[in-house]
Amino acid sequence: MNRQEELESENKRLNELNGKLEWRYNHARSQYFLFLKQVLPLLSTEKKKEIFISAGRNCAKSLGWADLYKNNPEGFFRHMHEHAGECISFSNDKKTITVVTQNRPCDCPLMRGQCGMDGAYCDCSLGWQMETYETILQKRVSVDLKESCLRGSGKCVFEITVLD
């Protein structure tokens, strides 16, 4: 077998593997939606918020992006603008950060295309923003969700208040 045939064979094998992985991901995702649709109505608003904020914090920690920008919020703002098209800025007194995403579906790969999903899922994004900005700023923050894709807007808008 020559080098070209080896590459074509490997490419075919990788495409088949990718197809299997994509099927497994889509299957697991549909099972997760079914789980959420069955469980969310059983939980109080407070419990849903607690669970989703915790999940969002965990997501941000596992990505590790914020660690790269500790004490460099403007660098993170640029990174998010370049890679996700987000507009992020400080207020003049540097006590408030506003995050505005592009008009797009939910950025979470699990929620993409799930417009009918319970808007409580957006609390996951609150946790993500909290963990990210508390890590970058090394200060506590509170996050207010002004608009979200899953709650009827075309974009997400967050207002982050620096507490310390």
Pair 145, 137: CB distance under 8 Å: no
pLDDT value of position 152 = 82
Q: How confident is the model at residue 116 (pLDDT cuts 50, 70, 90)?
A: low
Q: What is the pLDDT of residues 52-79, one digit of tens each?
A: 999 999 999 999 999 999 999 999 999 9
Residues 6+ away with beta carbon under 8 Å from 156 = 99, 100, 101, 106, 107, 122, 125, 145, 147, 148, 149
